[in-house]
Structures are given as C-alpha cells and as structure tokens.
Amino acid sequence: MHRTKKLVFKLKRAIIKKEYENNNLEGRRMKMMIVDDDPVSRSILVRVLFGLGKCVELNNGTDALTEFESKITTEDRYNLVTLDISMPDISGITVLYKMRKIEEQYAIAEAERAKIVMVTADGNRNRIKTAIEEKCTYYLVKPFNKEDVLEKFRKQQIIS
C-alpha cells in the first residue's frame, strides 16, 4: 500500500509539473494576485490557478492597489489579477480603473499590461458591462470549477 501512495504522489507531481509547463505565460512563471474579501472564493481561485506561478492573496481593494503599484516597475509585475466586483472597502470596478491608470502612468505597453479578470457572484449585466468598458480582460461568474476556468482562460488567451 505504501508503494501505491508513493506512486500516486509522484504521478500527481508529474501532472502538476506538466500543467505548469503547459500553462505558464510564454515560458515564464506567472505572477498572480487574487483579490476577494471572501476567503472561500480566494481559496478556490488559488486551487484553480495552482501550478501557473506565484500567487498573492489579498482581501481588499486598498491593499491590492498598493501591492499592484509597488511591483509595477519590477520583474515581479503582475501578469494576472482576479478582482471580486463587490468588496467592502472599494469596488472591484474602481480597483480595475485605478490599476489601468497606474499602468498608463508608468507607460506600460498594452501588450505588457496585466490580464485583469473580474469575479462576480451575481452576474449583473450592467456591472459586467462597466467592467468591460474599464478594460477588464474577462469576467467569471461564481460558482466555477478548475476545468471551466482554465478552458475559458485559454480561449481568452489569458493563459496559453
């Protein structure tokens, strides 16, 4: 039985490594930020994005903006940000707008800007429309699962 567990563990590690190799951004490890006031939602997204790169979890928009700007001129600049639309301190749409302004302020080329995915539980079309107008890359409606998210991200070229 012990040998079976070891074999399963090695197989899982190989699969995760292969997923990482297949999903990383142009051969580089992605730098990701997950912003959601709900710890369960953050945890789910961490599991979904596991293996794609380094992931920072934050629970509010204020901290997200500070973190985003602190990395904007470094090699650790974020490739992918997921933002909950409804957060208590600042709405995700406001955070999205400010992140795009930060990228403009630092003259980050369009092709080098973060992919920003809005996450919502309600699917409100007006909010989604506003997020798209503010240049979000994509949006996810909760609940979701790993396979669906990865498939949608590939279709939208958020990951390769």
Q: Of 7-21, 23-37, 67-81, which one has max mean pLDDT?
A: 67-81
Q: What local confidence, expressed as pLDDT, does residue 82 receive?
A: 96
* CA 38 – CA 26 distance, rounded (Å): 31
CA-based nearest residue to 118, from 146, 87, 78, 160: 87
Span 60-87, pLDDT tens digits? 999 999 999 999 999 899 999 999 999 9
Radius of gyration of the chain (CA): 16
Span 109-159, pLDDT tens digits? 999 999 999 998 877 778 778 888 889 999 898 888 899 899 999 999 998
Can you read off the two tokens belonging to residue 27? 């051969």
Q: What are phi and psi of 106, to 5 degrees?
A: -95, 10
Q: Which CATH number fits domain 2-155: 3.30.470.10, 3.40.50.2300, 3.40.190.10, 3.40.50.740?
A: 3.40.50.2300
* CA 104 – CA 1 distance, rounded (Å): 57
Residue 7 has pLDDT above 90, yes or no: no
Q: What local confidence, expressed as pLDDT, does residue 4 receive?
A: 61
Mean pLDDT for all residues in the chain: 85
Contact 54, 32 (CB under 8 A): yes
Contact 119, 140 (CB under 8 A): yes
Q: What is the mean pLDDT of residues 92-113?
A: 95
127 or 20, higher pLDDT: 127
